[in-house]
Amino acid sequence: MKLYCDPISTTSRPVLLFIAEHELPVEIVHVDLMAGGHLEPDYLALNPNGIVPFLVDGDFKLGESAAILKYLARKAGSGAYPTDLQGRARVDEAISWFSTQFHAYFCLMVCYPNIGVPHGAPPELTQALMAYGADHAPRWLKVLDQHMLAGRDYLCGSEITLADYLGVSYVLLGELAAYDFAPYPNIQAWLARMQARPHFAPVFERFFGLVAYLRGQQAAA
Ligand SMILES: N[C@@H](CCC(=O)N[C@@H](CS)C(=O)NCC(=O)O)C(=O)O
């Protein structure tokens, strides 16, 4: 198997962490987003969406980080994607929640504008998005803190699931905005738990490098 990805990408890191923790025999192919590797003709021929991550398993090709995580978990027989009906539905629910509500209000409006995404958006649109996100993101952060993570170590219970691999990458985007998670102690504890996992640091190294670079630029401005 081959995974086309870039550790700078929010949606690549969950898959890279899962692969590392499960020691899966997957060749990692770096598609350098900053250098435009995702727009090279060879890559577009493989994945017309021109985004990462992207998995190739023999003749089978698969995009979308959540779908890739589920495929790898089924293939590896990982307990991170439970096999019982309701346990699996709970994981699916959390993954959908992160990919929709949380991603829209927190990632797109609060975090990404700090690195110039959406590219080329007029400044007034970016300002409006950020103001709207600042007002509305706490609604979803409260749900995460006071319900999804209340009284449990991981999103779906006492064991890590695919939802945690995906969710932690989205929530940590808050670092791009120097977001203050102090009002959310369960989120803080969960972030610390996830960051203590042995394979976490190498997978997130480039992301935290970007965060440090941004902080340096802000301090110099
Ligand atoms: N829904 C997709 C989103 C993938 C995605 O947007 N990847 C970004 C990096 S985080 C990308 O490749 N962006 C390149 C571009 O938009 O041109 C998934 O979960 O895999």
Specify the pairing of strand 27-30 against strand 60-63: unpaired
**The ligand 1 atom nearest the CA atom of 9:** 10
Distance 152 CA to ligand 1 centre (A): 30
Q: pLDDT per residue over 210-220, tens digit each?
A: 999 999 998 89
CB-ligand 1 contact for 40 (6 Å cutoff): no
Q: pLDDT per residue over 60-106, tens digit each?
A: 999 999 999 999 999 999 999 999 999 999 999 999 999 999 999 99
- What domains, with CATH codes, occur in the chain? 2-76 (3.40.30.10), 85-220 (1.20.1050.10)
The band of 25, judged by pLDDT with boundaries at 50, 70 and 90, is very high
- Among protein residues, the one whose CA lies closest to atom 17 of ligand 1: 51
Helix axes 85-97, 162-171, angle to 10 degrees: 10
221 has a pLDDT exceeding 90: no
Top mutation candidate among 34, 52, 97, 115 for ligand 1, by most atoms within 8 Å of CB: 52
Which pLDDT does position 218 carry in this prediction?
85
CB 146 within 8 A of CB 186: yes
The answer for residues whose C-beta is within 8 angstroms of residue 11's C-beta and 6 or more apart is 51, 52, 53, 65, 169
Structure-token pair, residue 102 = 């949380």
Q: pLDDT per residue over 176-193, tens digit each?
A: 999 999 999 999 999 999
CB 25 within 8 A of CB 1: yes
CB-ligand 1 contact for 52 (6 Å cutoff): yes
CB-ligand 1 contact for 65 (6 Å cutoff): yes
**Rounded to an integer, what distance in angstroms lies between the CA atom of residue 204 and that of residue 200?**
6
Query: Which of helix, strand or coil describes residue 198?
Result: coil
CB-ligand 1 contact for 51 (6 Å cutoff): yes
**How many other C-beta atoms can be found within 10 angstroms of the C-beta atom of residue 8?**
17
**The ligand 1 atom nearest the CA atom of 53:** 20
**How many other C-beta atoms can be found within 10 angstroms of the C-beta atom of residue 194?**
20
- Among protein residues, the one whose CA lies closest to atom 10 of ligand 1: 9
